[in-house]
Structure 1
Amino acid sequence: MGTSHAGRYDVVIIGAGAAGLACAADLCAAGLRVRLLEAAGAVGGRMRTDRVKGFTVDRGFQVFNTSYPQVRRRLDLKALELRSFTPGVLVHTENGPRRFTDPTRRLRESRDLLPGRLASARDLAAVAALTARDALAPASALRRGPDGTTRTALADAGVSPELVETFFRPFLSGVFLEDELETSARFFHLVWRSLLRGTLALPAEGIGAVPAQLASRLPPHVLRSGCPVTAVTPGEVAVVGGDTLRARAVVVATGQRAAAELLPGLRVPDGRTVTTLYHAPAEPPTTEPLLFVDSRRRFLNTCVLSAVQPGFSPDGRALVSTSVLGSPGPAETAAVLRAMGEVYGADTDHWELVHRVTVPDALPAMVGPVPLSRTTRFAPGRYVCGDHRATGSLQGALASGARAAREVLEDLAGHGPRGAGS
């Protein structure tokens, strides 16, 4: 097909992940003519759900946090049919399983928080003070606080190296997708706050139901899926097939690697890669919707997804999700399965592997100190948003998309888009 000008818009947005969907919603609400382009056949970016052998499997283990402000603003939580995890984490230690539970929610299950079981009295006091501060402080105060790494933040709070290695390092490795606790201290405090104030849950149709609901609220004909973009130039977007869309502003809302390709000169953070293994044992190793972590860090976390959402399994078998950093080979995968047997106290030799998914750049690296939000302005008429421009979370992606919409509206109202650093 020869080159043609397929459309003229106020704004063209590239990428229908959480950031692009939020940006499109806000710009449409402001009355602009918007086109949202998605290369894949469905929206969501990394927030996608597949059906494999009848099982509902997300593209990597993902949980939905109800406390995020952008989530509460944009989504109908009831329509997602959320079912929650047991609040807390079970840690597999050398001394046996230990529960780290919020006593304000599950007092009867908090016996492992007695001094001497999971932690010393001094450690418990330090964690209580840290928890009270983060739970009660305004999020804005935590964002303005001193930054460093999560490891230094825990040390500054008086948490001993022993408790860091027993609980915080194995648990937070699954949150940040890195096991050195090098993630921004300010981001850690915000995450800890969100865990204390919210509920972790899964939608009945998988995490893909979240972007699907966001997309369903857009006006008709805004979204065009199956439409890869080949180039972005000032005022124009070229798509596969030769068409060119003209726009007063272009927003790149893809993952960081694709954004850097479309916007040469854009500086992006490294990404964290994670692999999730989905097994289907004949009998569930536990019926409790609980997250398990391992103090030896042989995997990031594991849980019985069908104990959270029974509909994830088509035939009554359990569906177990286990995540590990990187992309393990056969020997490492076998070692993970043996570790799961120890943690669950079950024979895993005959667990069927129904699916394996590796997600490159599942989260942006946020090595502290790091800014928690950056302008979306890249160059006159060109903008970039996504969790890599804010925080590695659904909240960060949605907030970055909202910021892109605000900055586009400001610039278009001023009749002269401003430039900005990359």
Structure 2
Amino acid sequence: MSNQDTKIHIIGAGISGLVAAIVLEQNGFSPVLIEATDRVGGRVKTDIVNGYQLDHGFQVLLTAYPAARKFLDYNALELQNFLPGASIFKNNKQEVIGDPLRDASLLFSTLFANVGTVTDKLKILQLNTKLKKKSIADIFSDKPQMTFSYLTDLGFSSEIINDFFKPFFSGIFLENKLETSSRMFEFVYKMFGEGNAALPKGGIEEIPKQLLKQLKSTTIKYKTTVSSIRENKILLADGQELERDYIIIATEASNLIQNLKNQAIEWQSCDTLYFETENRTIKKPLIGLIPDQNSLINNIFYHTSLKTTLNAGKELLSVSIVDNHGLTGIKLISQVQKELKELCGITSTTFIKHFSIPKSLPKLSELHYEISPSETRLTETIYLAGDIQLNGSLNAAMIAGEKAALGVLENLQGLFK
């Protein structure tokens, strides 16, 4: 059987599925990507509304991600970098803290910010140094604990945990108790320290678009829903059956394979609301944090503080919510606008769009960085990809996609020997 005769289907054209297709093409194969929606990207998408770029949820690329450096051309993405810090809305004031070793403009504001103690600020520098020296392999081999207890054990005060760590990392982990594994905390913290948080000039969807451009011989079937998978066949929702030799499932497999029904993944959800404003309350490209324990809002960001391909002329503000307190629709929008006014001094907001994202981030009890190609194999002909195999990150999605493709290739090489 030649490479071109081997039928390899990939379910899901998100980041992981796209990377799997790239690796297969690099090895002479022409896979078929099956995607339920009308475009690639999975959870990494951008809509154009009223002349603004609206990402599906507040997302950033951490440029230190090793897999992202391998598969993406950062220059072509025209990455726009955030400043390495945050603006904290506390007691009707903005307190700016950050890493002055990476950006000197943050030195004085950090030193004099009414956030945490002097000891806390020294401990942050110590943590930075510790994690720069610690390898990713060591991070993911250490015994995990909850991030909250990890920070407490390091001696951070409750003030700095509540004012900075909790709102900042709740926005990343999408849970507000810092129950996420310390492995993930250390990994993300290390990535922030070794690179930049950035957005492509054209929005987050430029990442899957760039991966798509790398594909030359892959066939993509859009608006095609898979209902189930059997050992030799893919059954589509329209009743069609596809014959295949190998399959890579780059989405949640429990919905597709009968004996995995009891292994469904739990997901963290979030809401992101976009508003147009006349002015920017945060002048620099910094994320705004709301440490109020009772507030809906977790963080805010002015996307127009970065260069964007499209801009309708005013300011674009995103509001991220980890726990919507059961509010939806008009009630949610109204409460967010009220909090923007009371907590952030943002008085004039025009609502644009609300993204309710029930499957934002997988809840995983065991977090890993790497996986071997053979570990992605479910059966002789079915392989699993997606960030759900490792940890909830774009980096993990890329690694899992690559390793699943290599798993198929290893199997094929074994047959040819």
Same fold (TM over 0.5): yes
- Mapped pair 1:203 → 2:197: no
Which residue does 2:44 correspond to in 1? Answer: 47
Contact 2:77 2:200 in 1 (8 A): yes
* Percent of matched pairs sharing the same residue: 30
Contact 1:113 1:119 in 2 (8 A): no
In structure 1, give the amino acid aligned to 2:33: L
In structure 2, give the amino acid aligned to 1:355: K
Residues of 2 paired with 1:18 and 1:204: CA distance? 19
Residues of 2 paired with 1:86 and 1:203: CA distance? 15
* Deviation string, structure 1 residues 160-200 (Cα, Å, up to 9, x no partner): 22211111011111011000101011111000000111111
Structure 1 residue 117: deviation in Å?
Answer: 2.9
In structure 2, give the amino acid aligned to 1:144: S
Residues of 2 paired with 1:372 and 1:139: CA distance? 8
* Deviation string, structure 1 residues 322-376 (Cα, Å, up to 9, x no partner): 010255324343222222224442313xx11111111111111235x54445532
Which residue does 2:235 correspond to in 1? Answer: 238
Structure 1 residue 380: deviation in Å?
Answer: 2.6
- Mapped pair 1:229 → 2:226: yes
- Mapped pair 1:412 → 2:412: yes
Residues of 2 paired with 1:219 and 1:317: CA distance? 39
Structure 1 residue 320: deviation in Å?
Answer: 0.5
Residues of 2 paired with 1:35 and 1:165: CA distance? 48
TM superposition score normalised by structure 1? 0.90
In structure 1, give the amino acid aligned to 2:277: P
Query: Which blocks of at least 5 consecutive residues in structure 1 are unaligned?
Result: 1-6, 417-422
Matched residue count: 403
Structure 1 residue 149: deviation in Å?
Answer: 1.2
Structure 1 residue 220: deviation in Å?
Answer: 3.3
Structure 1 residue 240: deviation in Å?
Answer: 4.1
Structure 1 residue 106: deviation in Å?
Answer: 2.1
Q: Map of 1:71-110 to 2, 5 A cutoff?
A: 71-94=68-91, 96-110=93-107
Cα distance, 1:93–1:282 mapped onto 2, change above 3 Å: closer
Q: Map of 1:351-390 to 2, 5 A cutoff?
A: 351-367=349-365, 370-373=367-370, 375-390=375-390
Structure 1 stretch 301-310 or stretch 69-78: which is displaced more? Answer: 301-310
Residues of 2 paired with 1:126 and 1:169: CA distance? 16
Give the 3-state SS of the residue equivalent to 1:300 in structure 2. strand
For residue 181 of structure 1, the aligned residue among 178, 193, 198 is 178
For residue 219 of structure 1, the aligned residue among 195, 206, 216 is 216
- Mapped pair 1:295 → 2:302: no
Residues of 1 paired with 2:199 and 2:414: CA distance? 43
For residue 57 of structure 2, the aligned residue among 56, 60, 78 is 60
Structure 1 residue 394: deviation in Å?
Answer: 0.5
* Deviation string, structure 1 residues 25-60 (Cα, Å, up to 9, x no partner): 111211223111111111000111111122211111
In structure 1, give the amino acid aligned to 2:305: A
Residues of 1 paired with 2:343 and 2:79: CA distance? 27
Residues of 1 paired with 2:247 and 2:165: CA distance? 41
Give the 3-state SS of the residue equivalent to 1:274 in structure 2. strand
TM superposition score normalised by structure 2? 0.91
- Mapped pair 1:400 → 2:396: no
Cα distance, 1:17–1:336 mapped onto 2, change above 3 Å: same
Cα distance, 1:161–1:282 mapped onto 2, change above 3 Å: closer
In structure 1, give the amino acid aligned to 2:168: F
Cα distance, 1:114–1:287 mapped onto 2, change above 3 Å: closer
Structure 1 residue 119: deviation in Å?
Answer: 1.8
Cα distance, 1:227–1:189 mapped onto 2, change above 3 Å: same
